[in-house]
Structure 1
């Protein structure tokens, strides 16, 4: 988060933040290596709906940092630091930390269980007059077209909300939690820029509410917060305000006040204030570059009522190759053994079995990587327009698991096609860890939507033919 200057105490953070981000990225890559080490083959670490609503009710200190810190860092700061809340970037094509190796459902569950209050952040399209964006050229600014009461900006806001909730659900962040939109500071006096941003945020809030979550907005007090306060005091029609505000005001004061821009009556008990910009802090021997925040969240969120219980769906039982297990938590690349590499036995057995069922492998289904498996892989690769070698990739797992004539699947469907969908999603996302239950339940839909957002499909609960085609093409 970087708020533009509106006063000497309201400055954007230094470009030195970029250097700290590079360091944090290196640390994140090391964390990714640790995450790739072998782990137990069960579901005991997978979060469920028992995760608490976040950030919930809390008054005290918090921090935010672009890259989600590793578990070791979070544990050290939990023991030694004064912080009990942390902002995390979960979504948005404009965020600097698009890759988040530590940010998994297990990480979310672990922090919530340890007592951290999480503030999920999305940094997507920015105000049309924001000079630092687009950041990559593949992200967008908010449309400033005033046609049909800024209909284009509203559409963009609703779309960002849908994408965010899909990611939140996939991470195990439960309904009733607050999703914060990061709207970086802009020129408040630019009418088209200001009014389109307001409609964008309104549509964000409406859709976030429709999907069962609470809406929050982070912005500079001199721009985004100022326009929301103006709307509160002199309401325009068809504008919905967020539930919580996150003020950017670098005055060094650990409170949520900024009375020159926002009266104390607005959003009382529903405020966070970022009062110090990027700097290093060391706790428990661990240094992280952070922004400091003070939270005053005293209004308890209301979680949506659970739907009425229905008779559980049951998918047909499956048996593969006389009892071979083809349901794996992850599907990894496999190649011929060398002096320094032995292919994972369980992966080899599952691959042989599935290739035999697709009539391209005719050898023994065991854990050895021999010539018959190499020939089957080469044949598969040639049939799919790839260079003929004996290297089996994650994309090829997806193609193997999802190809064929597949039906459109609706929520609650129970079938062998759903099992193949769950297996293909596990191949597409090493952190998904979906059980191959054969039931298109809410957890499967959440992981499905996380994949859809990554490959450019509109989030939704249906598994359409276009989704099957991209899965079968190995897109992840």
Structure 2
């Protein structure tokens, strides 16, 4: 059972730790928006998956983000006689996931809204001092969360997410206002300690209350930098219902939990998870330009077979690709002459393609895909995404849009390609998939 005197002592101790941290040089403000924005899929489970489970899902699931419960009085993943909890969740586990490319979303679950009687730890609804007790508790929880984040090796600037479960009565003034003051204290303390603030709640309860307060009484509460809202409409997007939250609020800084408590199997590993779609730090960024070799266009609706005597923009694109791959030094004049034939033949020989001197489908695919072979899913962006999308287009996947950010259309085309060449059709671009593209398999 929860012990109230123990809670008071804990709050005082943590507040003292918070003050000590501030005196020893905590950052004065939240970190700036990260440069590696991400738009894509995430999941969270009751407990952090094991390393083996994460490895299996890395190369077979659509997810790039993973929500992890790192602590708090109401965190459900606790060791029992029959459940080990998550003893593997340590700095090594976090470092491995981050190195593999996972976006780790650390979640803290402490006291809940005062009118949520089903929880054993509640926010103090006393309105004295403009809900000073709630504010103090929010700051204390933030300090404890930062301490745990540091134990796990999460860097400064990481968003720490507070889980305020929905379903509470937003019409109850003391319940709503004490929750808002608590979350304001949470955000203020995180900013002072060099972290960003995130809040998870239902779209119609906690997130609605935050946005409504910011709209009607701007500046009264310090707002979180990012929000994670439960709205089980089954749509993998970050759209919001304006009856609950203004369309522009937290644009580019949202996570949408669109499906709850579902069992999913990837790579032969089954987990019970919540499904989420996120757009954080402005989302995955498009490349500045789609042109290459100065101002040469590479993207066309189709890539027909080219041969001696061919002319036009597609030949210029071929010349550019050959130049980028070190096989051509001539002009980008759009003329398929002897120098182009020689460069194509050399490229084909060096990459185990049929030596015809003609730019056929396999040659186009290989030229576009040439380079490193990073793991890619929805949200992966940049030069590698362009190479992937262009290689798929050259293979005949006309539904793919060449934009420089992997989307659902791209991964569906990847799965079709994988099935056609005998690979597991996961839609995840693995090193084996890159090899198939780079050798012109079709």
State the TM-score, normalizing by the size of structure 1: 0.50
SS in 1 for 2:124: coil
Asked if the contact 1:181/1:217 (under 8 Å) is kept, the reply is yes
User: 3-state DSSP class of the match of 1:111?
Assistant: helix
1:195-214 matches, within 5 Å, as 195-214=177-196
Aligned partner of 1:149 among 103, 126, 130: 130
**1:258 offset after TM fit, Å?**
2.2
The 1-side partners of 2:62 and 2:189 are apart by 35
Structure 2 counterpart of 1:253:
235
Contact 2:34–2:281 (Cα < 8 Å) also in 1: no
What is aligned with 2:94?
108
Shift of 1:235: 2.0
1:179 touches 1:213 (CA, 8 Å); kept in 2? yes
**Matched length:** 243
Shift in Å, 1:57: 1.7
Q: What is aligned with 2:147?
A: 166
| 1:271 paired to 2:254 | yes
Task: Work out the CA distance in 2 between the residues paired with 1:287 and 1:269.
Answer: 31
8 Å Cα contact 1:165-1:208 kept in structure 2: yes
Computing the radius of gyration over CA atoms, which structure comes out larger, 1 or 2?
A: 2
Q: Does 1:222 align with 2:204?
A: yes
SS across alignment from 2:40: strand
**Structure 1: how far apart are the matches of 2:263 and 2:220?**
43
Shift of 1:55: 11
Deviation at 1:239, TM superposition (A): 1.1
Q: Could you say what secondary structure the match of 1:273 adopts?
A: strand
CA gap of 1:55–1:182, structure 2 versus 1, over 3 A, is: farther
Contact 2:41 2:65 in 1 (8 A): yes
Within 5 Å, give how 1:83-102 maps onto structure 2.
Answer: 83-98=63-78, 99-102=85-88
Q: Which residue of 128, 149, 161 corresponds with 1:180?
A: 161
* Structure 1 match to 2:110: 124
- Displacement of 1:238 in angstroms is 3.8
Displacement of 1:132 after TM fit? Answer: 2.0
Tell me, in whole angstroms, the C-alpha distance in 2 between the residues paired with 1:220 and 1:55. Answer: 28
**How much does 1:146 deviate?**
0.1
CA distance in 2, matches of 1:254, 1:236: 30
Q: Distance in 2 between matches of 1:131 and 1:148?
A: 24
Q: Flag the 1:60–1:237 CA change in 2: closer, same or farther, 3 A.
A: closer
- Structure 1 contact 56–177 (Cα < 8 Å) conserved: no
Distance 2:253 2:91 in 1: 26
SS at structure 1 position matched to 2:130? helix
Structure 1 segment 304-453 matched on structure 2, within 5 A: none
The structure-2 alpha-carbon separation of the partners of 1:237 and 1:267, relative to structure 1 and needing over 3 Å to count, comes to closer
Kept after mapping to 2: 8 A contact 1:256/1:294? yes
Q: Structure 1 54/101 Cα, relative in aligned 2: closer, same or farther at 3 Å?
A: farther
Change over 3 Å in CA distance of 1:244–1:55 after alignment to 2: farther
Q: CA RMSD in A?
A: 1.6
Task: State the SS of the aligned residue for 2:188.
Answer: helix
Partner of 2:280: 297
Tell me which of 44, 51, 57 is aligned to 1:64: 44
Structure 1 unaligned residues grouped into runs of 5+: 1-52, 135-139, 301-476
